[in-house]
Amino acid sequence: MKALKFMLLMVALVVASGQIDAQKFGYINSASLLEEMPKIKEANSNLETLQKQLQGKGKKMLEDYQLEYDQLNKRYERGEIPPKDLPAEEAKLQEKQQAILSFEQDIKKQMQEKQEALYKPILDKVKESINEVAKEEGYTYIFDTSPGIGVILYMDESADVTAMVKAKLSAKGL
């Protein structure tokens, strides 16, 4: 009975080791891959342009607010605004201040939406290319070694699939 259990254990270990050996692992540094892609550089340039436009508009709103605030103070100091009318004037300024704060939040939202719209098609093609390389080359797993994303304590340089993914992306015009 002990011999049979030992034999079954040995068979199980041989089968398990065969399955482990059959798995092929690869890795990619997606951050460096994306950094080199012309389409990402173009997307980043578009985002930077949009950000400058929106910040310019926000700066203009802030300058207008500051000008109106200063003018209100001067008019009040010169006695041109009766004390009873001051709260209404201050309320108008508070509305403008609130509009500026709202615009700042809108800038963040617009930038996020634009970034997603520009990056999504590129990232989808990168993922598609990674999947194609993995299937064509028989990889079971491909890990991302980008700083802050993946953690691998050891990797064989021959398992780097970055060049194959770059070739796939180049073939797709990216």
CATH number at residue 163: 3.30.910.20
Is there a domain that residue 2 lies in?
A: no
Structural element, H or E, at residue 27: strand 25-28
- Written as six digits, the tokens of 125 are 């093609």
Contact 25, 139 (CB under 8 A): yes
Identify which of 139, 127, 130 has the alpha carbon closest to the alpha carbon of residue 165.
130
Q: What is the pLDDT of residue 13?
A: 41
pLDDT at 12 over 80: no
Q: What is the pLDDT of residue 53?
A: 96
pLDDT tens for residues 44-53?
999 999 999 9
Is there a domain that residue 162 lies in?
A: yes
Q: What is the pLDDT of residue 85?
A: 86
Is there a domain that residue 7 lies in?
A: no
Q: Using 50, 70 and 90 to split pLDDT, how confident is the model at 152?
A: low
Is there a domain that residue 100 lies in?
A: yes
Name the residue with higher pLDDT: 156 or 83: 83
Q: What is the pLDDT of residue 142?
A: 85
Is there a domain that residue 102 lies in?
A: yes
142 phi/psi in degrees, rounded to 5 = -130, 125
Three-state secondary-structure class, residue 139: coil
Query: What is the pLDDT averaged over residues 147-163?
Result: 71
Domain count along the chain:
1
C-alpha–C-alpha distance, residues 111 and 103, integer Å = 12
pLDDT at 130 over 80: yes
pLDDT tens for residues 104-114?
999 999 999 99
Q: Tell me which residue range forms the domain holding 78.
A: 20-171
Is there a domain that residue 146 lies in?
A: yes
CB atoms within 10 A of CB 100: 14
CB burial readout 16-52, b (16+ within 10 A) else e = eeeeeeeeeebbbbbeebbeebebbeebeeeeeebee
pLDDT at 8 over 80: no
Q: In the chain, pLDDT over 70 holds for what percent of residues?
A: 83
Is there a domain that residue 8 lies in?
A: no
